[in-house]
Structures are given as structure tokens and as C-alpha cells.
Amino acid sequence: MTIGRQPLTFHQVDAFTDRVFAGNPAAVYVLDAWPDDQTLAAIAAEHNLSETAFVVPGAGGRHELRWFTPAVEVELCGHATLASAHVLLNEMDSYEAPLTFVTRFAGELGISASDDRLWLDLPARVAQPVDHDIADVAAALGGEAHAWYAATNYLAVFDSAADVAALEPDMRALARHSARTNLGFIATAPADDGQHDFVSRYFAPGHGVDEDPVTGSAHCTLAPYWAERLGKRELAARQISTRGGELLCRVDGDRVHIGGQAVTFATGTTFLDPGTRT
């Protein structure tokens, strides 16, 4: 029975796609006030999606935003930011673009709407060549990357999209390394389909997500790398996970603008036990 239990509405949104069953799913809660952190973490673990986003709206288009995997709170999440903006702008009244999300670790993130997409204004995270021995990481990731870089994630650059698609990482080994470094693992290569500039996959078993379907935050590193390598500021990207997703990237100094679409898959209600602090 749900009598006496506190109801919270959520939306489940597929981000970086224009159709359901593709892109990256995120649950989004729009709250009146913050529950305690234990409750937020428990809700995210219950959904068991790569991220669950929590929004507390504020005045003047400025809204607080946090993201949780099933295991940890993360400092930046692109697809759940896109999903949160989609919910405010398409599933609720009284919100319009542009939006500003105020985050704990990544500063203020702007959201605008144009070209039939929502555009995220995210911080660039430029990778530098790795200057230490990572033979164990390379073995765990598999394949033969021709270059390794690091920022807030490792970035392994491969020769072909087929090389990236064929990777079968040792997730336990990657998780052990992530526990020591707190880094995830990006694999990337030039695209070969005539439509995109580059492809990627992203692995974060140390954060409770073996392979993320589409990772906006990884493109804060990918976009600057490929912009410099290809000599262009605007890039089309595809993340070649099983679900797959499409991203447009624009590099602007120390910011990366990432454009994508999103579609609502489901809405529902979570019931919290009496006494939960909100």
C-alpha cells in the first residue's frame, strides 16, 4: 500500500537520440527541496540506470542539478543534463530556454535550444599525453591503441572504428585501476561512415557503469582532441555502444557546446517511506 508514503514523480528520458530504445537513458526528478544524500543515492541505485538526475528549480532560470550513478555521485554528466533540460522544457509548464543548471562540481552549465536540438555549454577537459607506465590499463582495455592521453578520463586513440567496436575490456581490471585513479576510460578512433568525424566508447566500471551508452562528459575531452587533430571546431560524433547515440560538438575556447536530441520514454511515481527527509 502507498497510503501515507511520499510520492515523487520522475521521467525516464533517452538522451542523444530522436527515438526510444536508443541513446542513453536517464531518470529525472524535479524536486521542491533536496532529500538527504542517502535517499538520493538509494533512488539512483533503485533505478539502476547509468545516471539519475535530480533538479531543484530556482528563480530566474537557474536550477540546482546533481547526478548519481547506481554507485556514486558524479561531478559532471552530459546525457542526464540533456535529459533534465528536456523534462523542464517539454514535460513541464513555466520553463523555457535558455536554462542554467548550477552544479556542485562543474560550475554553471548553460542550456540553449536551436537547430532542433538542445545545446549543452560544458567545460572543456583537454587531455595530455600520458607520461607514466599504463601497460596494465592497456591490457585491461584490450586492443592496440597507438596513443594514450589523460584528463578526467584516460583517452585511448585507435586507428579505426572497427578497432574500437571490437574491444572487450576486462571490467574487473579496469575497475581496480579506476579505484586507484578515479578515472574512466574513453576509446576513440576516426569515423569511417562518411557522416561522422569520430567514434567512441566509454567504460566506467569503477563508478558502477561498465559501458555507458552515450557520454556527453567524455566529449568534453574528445571534442578538443579531434578539433585539434582535424583542424575543425565543429564535429559530428557517434558513440558506438549497443544502443548508440549522436552528438554534435562545437569547441569554443575552454568550453565545449554539445548538441543532441532527447525523447521521453516513460513517466512514473516513486513512493518514499514516511520519515524520509526532504
- Catalytic site residue from 51, 73, 211, 246: 51
Would you call 144 a catalytic residue per the annotation?
no
Q: HEC states along the chain? A: CCCCCEEEEEEEEEECCCCCCCCEEEEEEECCCCCCHHHHHHHHHHHCCCEEEEEECCHHHEEEEEEECCCCEECCCHHHHHHHHHHHHHCCCCCCCCEEEECCCCCEEEEEEECCEEEEEEECCCCEECCCCCHHHHHHHCCCCCEEEECCEEEEECCCHHHHHCCCCCHHHHHHHHHHHCCEEEEEEECCCCCCCEEEEEEEHHHCEEEECCCCCCHHHHHHHHHHHHCCCEEEEEECCCCCEEEEEEEECCEEEEEECEEEEEEEEEEECCCCCC
Residues annotated as part of the active site: 51
